[in-house]
Chain A
Amino acid sequence: MDEPYNPYLIAAYVITAVVLVTYALRLRAARAALQRRAQGRS
């Protein structure tokens, strides 16, 4: 399996990227929601 576009290889890197980016986005969304609610209270 020497073609540069080996599916396993791609899958490994893509999954890693997707998982980490998704988590980061969820954190950002949570932070935004919490800050909005905090604004609403003050």
Chain B
Amino acid sequence: MVSAIVMLTTALATGWIVWLSRDPEARVASARAVGAAAWVVIALWLWLVVYYAPIEQVQGIVQKIFYVHIPAIIPMYLGFVLTAVGGIGYLRTRDDRWDQLAIAGAEVGVIFCSLMLVVGPIWAKPVWGHWWVWDLRLTSTLVLWFIYVAYLFLRGLAFGSDAAKTFTSVYGIVGTAAIPFVYFAVDLAQGSTMHPSNPAREGLPPAMGQTVGAGMVAFVLVFAWLVARRMEVAALEAREASALRGAA
């Protein structure tokens, strides 16, 4: 039930983002609604975290970092998906709006990816005693982060050249295509994992499941809102750039 809500929210948010990418400046007004919804879910989620979620036996209260760590996963992946989709769209149509979708996806995606890499160790230190371990989850997330960062470097260094959008589109595609291989490779290289095994497969106690579900919905909404705003800024930048070119 909870996972159905999460998936539905993710699908709707993605659809909204793509719809909005067709005309960011005009359609961004709808972001207000999304923002408001986000605040409501955030409030609910925080209340659940503090009052409803149980205190776990083994880890104690530190375990509640779980509710702020796991929800960042979907936005992290969604960022890659948007970047790849934007990249394919731009290559095929040469329409700048796809490129704006791609850069928004990458920027907001890297933020959530970075959060995972920061919050993860904050959780790991009290529980496992180490800040960092080279297990499957953390390692793959780190490689994903490198891919994001490489994309942003490419964009930054190529910026201004005509080729920039083409190149970043290509890199967005190959970067996202590499992800499943990266996971497989890291799994092979690292073997066992210290990470708590995937609770979705094991089955979480309902209270925990609902709380983390609320967090996931909240984060997806926040992600969507941020992407919408970022696309608006990208559209304004493009408009300014063409105005300056026209004047020059």
Cβ distance A18 to chain B, nearest Cβ, rounded Å: 10
The A contact surface, by secondary structure, is helix
Q: How many A-B residue pairs have CB under 8 A?
A: 72
Contact A23 B111 (CB under 8 A): yes
Contact with A along B211-248 (1 / 0, CB 8 A): 00000000000100010011011001101100100000
Report A41 CB to chain B, min CB distance, Å.
6
Of B64, B111, B122, B229, the contact of A31 (CB 8 Å cutoff): B229
Q: Are B68 and A4 in contact (CB under 8 A)?
A: no
B180-205 interface with A by 8 A CB criterion = none
Q: Mostly helix, strand, loop or mixed at chain B's interface?
A: helix
Collect the chain B residues with CB atoms within 8 Å of residue A41's CB.
243
Residues 1-24 of chain A: 1 if any B CB is under 8 Å from the residue's CB, otherwise 0?
111101011011101100110011
Number of residues from A at the complex interface, CB < 8 A? 25
Q: Please, which residues of chain B bring their CB within 8 A of the CB of A6?
A: 60-62, 126
Structural contact, A12 and B65, CB atoms closer than 8 A: yes
**Chain B interface (Cβ < 8 Å from any Cβ of A):** 55, 60-62, 64-65, 68-69, 72, 108, 111, 114-115, 118-119, 122-123, 125-126, 222, 226, 229-230, 232-233, 236-237, 239-240, 243
Residues of chain A touching chain B, judged by Cβ–Cβ distance below 8 Å, are 1-4, 6, 8-9, 11-13, 15-16, 19-20, 23-24, 27-28, 30-31, 34-35, 37-38, 41
